Copies of this chain bind each other. A is one copy, B any other.
Amino acid sequence: MIEAGNVRQGLPSEPLAGEVTDILASKRTVRIERIASTGQATPEGEWYDQDHDEWVLVVAGAARLRIEGEAADRDLAEGDWVLLPAHCRHRVTWIRAEPPTIWLAVHF
């Protein structure tokens, strides 16, 4: 049985309280996720600080990403990717809600 799907299908049809995360593949130290966001920025003053590397891709939509120590937000559009090393503190300052912004995240 081969697992397969489409990252653009099965999205929330309206703004939701939270992001919707689907695990597309997971094995040993690697996890591939599709994240559908309907506007959830990181709460003010909070940062993501992870003990593993994360590679993120904007499949559809748009977002702004702040990386600690950088002078300004990074504008991310469709196709943009960023490699976030472990303990690179970052936050999503804005995200397009409608239609949902779709991220692909590879945690490794």
Contact = CB atoms under 8 A, between A and B. Distances in A.
A41 interface: no
Interface of A: 2-9, 24-25, 27-30, 32, 53, 55, 57, 59, 67, 70, 74, 77-85, 88, 104, 106, 108
A103 to B, nearest CB: 13
As for how many copies of this chain the complex holds, the number is: 2
B24 A82 contact: no
Contacts of A83: 2-4, 24-25
A8 B79 contact: yes
A77 to B, nearest CB: 8
B78 A4 contact: no
Nearest to A70: B2
5 contacts: A7-B57, A7-B79, A25-B106, A104-B104, A108-B108
